[in-house]
Chains A and B, each alone.
Chain A
Amino acid sequence: MRHIISVLLENEPGALSRVSGLFSARGYNIESLTVAPTEDASLSRMTIVTTGSDEVIEQITKQLNKLIEVVKVIDLSDGVHIERELMLVKVRAVSKDREEMKRMADIFRGRIIDVTDKDYTIELTGTGSKLDAFLSAIDRSAILETVRTGASGIGRGDRVLRT
């Protein structure tokens, strides 16, 4: 049901709105969407996490391929792949909670990247479920804000997406 789709597309203004417009016009779900230029500045790579039946996913990949600026599309979920997401969490960290929060960050291999006398900002990467696990592991009332990038994905081994 959940699919992670990688799209290689021309790095041109408006390309992102063509993709997001396609999803809204045809009623497809977007769980997350990330995009940035690749090592070749003329290309962008997008990772889209979506859900749908096999028929819907087939249509999504076909419709993406139909966009003039799209160079290549692969459904990473068709094979072995790795996905990672980055999250920044600002948490309240005063008195005895300070030590506890530091310990939790360590357990999840997070890094504290900003410190004040009242709070920490923790950087955490992993799969979406790992990030979810961290958020449920800490005291919910201590969370001041969170920001997540959405998943980026890449195929394992010689499974390569390029022009």
Chain B
Amino acid sequence: MELDRPEILAENRQDAGKKELNGAEIVVRCLQEEGVEYLFGYPGGAVLYLYDELFKQDKVKHILVRHEQGAVHAADGYSRSTEKIGVALVTSGPGVTNAITGIATAYMDSIPLVIITGQVPTHAIGQDAFQECDTVGITRPCVKHNFLIKDVKDIAATIKKAFYIAASGRPGPVVVDIPKDITRPDHTAEFNYPKSISMRSYNPVVKGHAGQIRKAVQLLNRAKRPMIYTGGGVVLGNAAPELAQLVRMLNFPCTNTLMGLGGYPATDRQFVGMLGMHGTYEANMAMQHCDVLLAIGARFDDRVIGNPAHFFEEPRSIIHIDIDPSSISKRVKVDVPIVGNVREVLQDLTRQLQAAKEKPDAIALKSWWTQIDEWRGRNCLKYERNSKIIKPQYVLEKLYEVTKGEAFVTSDVGQHQMWAAQFYKFDKPRRWINSGGLGTMGFGLPAAMGVRLGNPGADVACVTGEGSIQMCIQELSTCKQYHLPIKVINLNNRYLGMVRQWQQVDYSSRYSESYMNALPDFMKLAEAYGHVGMLIEKPSDVEPALKEAFKLKDRLVFMDFITDQTENVWPMVKAGKGLTEMLLGSEDL
């Protein structure tokens, strides 16, 4: 695709005959060596040498965002949708503090990012210099690792380590803090980009323990009411094909967490829907009443299993596959822990299951499926279809139909996020891009920019609400600059919907500060940014509007759907309640 960039006057500088490079040159060369396609960033004093160097080349394309939070979310969306490492560049001080929300978001969801941050010159560190902050200290609790480079000679090896750490083991964001003087033209060093790196203190486990896998095979083959529960680890570990093979071979039911959607095809008969706080009735019931639970790349989060004490009222054996040992037996004690790369473990597990003489009890399995189908019969995702006001669920159903289930869908955080997760059936991994762990409002639009850049030509929808979208709405300007034809699906109910829902359920309908007055005219706002705006107020207009919007292949369309203010997300497990203590609709209040 074409980018609006100033003319590049200098040719891509080759370093033939020049032995030593300065720090800025080294940083840019490292990024080139890593094959970095896009760098999401925002310039400032401490990174000017780096920007000067970026100007002189065109291998690494810089995307100028409008706020550093957007830069990190965009790098994040790029990474989630492509399997590649996302890279961002921000300046010192406020550049870093603005980026923190993005970094923490990526950390909670284990997304591999490298964030390069400018720092004040080494001699000024600790002097409360202009735009100084303790970047290593301030980011430490929300990164996988971070570095402060103090010598130009260390740049190449440090950046290599950063990329290696970010993507290996349980992935995560890595910050590389570079003081301004380290990138100065007169500070030079020889450039050697290491081909590989080994660290005595960091050796992530890959292979699962064969003995543990054998135990898992026995348990699975003896299960009468089995359940397979998978999370973001299957998506991040690129193990969806292996998972599908295993689930089909066993004929077991499968559920995905919010982060794991697309890990198993949602339209498959064996998929029982998402589980958890807003999971399906059948998924939560099967989770609670199974006798053998196979957890894969999931971490028994509080939004997923509810109250652990209630979860343990039913006896069951648990097998847990995860790359991170600290995720195992953290909230829930497990019987067979298997530490390893999900994909490799699933391959070994499938092989051993195929070789095993014992096979699952077909009769028990049949009656388990009968039970599950009966739970399914509750049709827990039903909603009022004859409403005169647009139901948000209807918009998502139509979005699914119009895009034929092929779109990349990013979301913000709140009711719209849950409806998207419930009603858009993801058959492929890396299509559903949302902030699951941190729950960051403002994530959706910048993430969609990264998704679109990483997947040129693909349909990208950002499902959002009038609350969330305003947290990073400035990125509409970035979308214009780089021609990113995202379709913004704004489910506008004039309320911070999820807050309103909790207030209705738990706070006797006292809607404290959850109503938003004085909203902008989103259609005009979109137009002001140079995009197409649409206002959709009638259910009968939903489908035609979506069709029209997705036909505009090269335009960003901001679709403002005026939706039912009273609609709630069902089912709902209230915080602290057990997984099966579900509210299925307003009648349960």
Contact B326 A63 (CB under 8 A): yes
Q: Lowest 7 A-B CB distances belong to which pairs? A: A62-B326, A68-B145, A71-B201, A62-B325, A68-B202, A25-B141, A63-B326
Bound CA span A62–B202, Å: 13
* A15, closest chain B residue (CB): B201
Contact A18 B201 (CB under 8 A): no
**Interface residues of A, Cβ cutoff 8 Å to B:** 9-10, 13-14, 17-18, 21, 25, 55, 58-59, 62-63, 65-66, 68-71, 163
B211 CB within 8 Å of chain A: no
B326: chain A residues at CB < 8 Å are 59, 62-63, 65-66
A14: chain B residues at CB < 8 Å are 136, 140, 148
Main SS of chain A's interface residues?
helix
B200: chain A residues at CB < 8 Å are 71, 163
Residues of B191-225 contacting chain A, CB below 8 A: 199-202
Other contacts beyond A9-B201, A66-B324: 7, CB < 8 A: A59-B330, A62-B326, A65-B325, A65-B326, A68-B145, A68-B199, A163-B200
11 A-B pairs (CB sep. < 8 Å): A14-B136, A17-B140, A55-B329, A59-B330, A62-B325, A62-B326, A63-B326, A68-B144, A71-B200, A71-B201, A163-B200
Bound CA span A71–B144, Å: 16
* A14, closest chain B residue (CB): B136
B325: chain A residues at CB < 8 Å are 62, 65-66
Contact A21 B145 (CB under 8 A): no
Bound CA span A9–B140, Å: 17
Contact of B140 among A13, A18, A55 (CB under 8 A): A18
Bound CA span A59–B333, Å: 12
B318 CB within 8 Å of chain A: no
A66: chain B residues at CB < 8 Å are 324-326
B351 to chain A minimum Cβ distance, whole angstroms, is: 28
B141: chain A residues at CB < 8 Å are 21, 25
B165 CB within 8 Å of chain A: yes
A58: chain B residues at CB < 8 Å are 329
Among B165, B324, B326, which residue has the most Cβ atoms of chain A within 10 A? B326
* A63, closest chain B residue (CB): B326
A63: chain B residues at CB < 8 Å are 326
B145: chain A residues at CB < 8 Å are 68
Bound CA span A18–B202, Å: 15
B404 to chain A minimum Cβ distance, whole angstroms, is: 42
Residues of B327-357 contacting chain A, CB below 8 A: 329-330, 333
B165: chain A residues at CB < 8 Å are 68
Bound CA span A103–B199, Å: 53
Bound CA span A114–B335, Å: 58
Among A14, A25, A68, which residue has the most Cβ atoms of chain B within 10 A? A68
Given contacts A21-B141, A25-B141, A63-B326, contact A70 B201 (CB under 8 A): yes
Bound CA span A21–B140, Å: 8
A54 to chain B minimum Cβ distance, whole angstroms, is: 10
B278 to chain A minimum Cβ distance, whole angstroms, is: 27
Residues of B125-160 contacting chain A, CB below 8 A: 136-137, 140-141, 144-145, 148
A70: chain B residues at CB < 8 Å are 201
* A71, closest chain B residue (CB): B201
B512 to chain A minimum Cβ distance, whole angstroms, is: 29
Residues of B278-328 contacting chain A, CB below 8 A: 324-326
Bound CA span A14–B125, Å: 15
A65: chain B residues at CB < 8 Å are 325-326
Bound CA span A17–B325, Å: 22
A90 to chain B minimum Cβ distance, whole angstroms, is: 33
* A55, closest chain B residue (CB): B329
* B165, closest chain A residue (CB): A68
Bound CA span A13–B333, Å: 36
* B325, closest chain A residue (CB): A62
* A13, closest chain B residue (CB): B148
Bound CA span A18–B144, Å: 11
A13: chain B residues at CB < 8 Å are 148
* A69, closest chain B residue (CB): B201
Contact A10 B330 (CB under 8 A): no
Among B144, B145, B199, B201, which residue has the most Cβ atoms of chain A within 10 A? B201
Bound CA span A17–B134, Å: 13
A163: chain B residues at CB < 8 Å are 200
Bound CA span A68–B144, Å: 8
Contact A10 B137 (CB under 8 A): no
Contact B324 A68 (CB under 8 A): no
Contact B201 A10 (CB under 8 A): yes
B201: chain A residues at CB < 8 Å are 9-10, 68-71
* B324, closest chain A residue (CB): A66
Bound CA span A9–B199, Å: 12
* B327, closest chain A residue (CB): A62
B154 to chain A minimum Cβ distance, whole angstroms, is: 12
A101 to chain B minimum Cβ distance, whole angstroms, is: 44
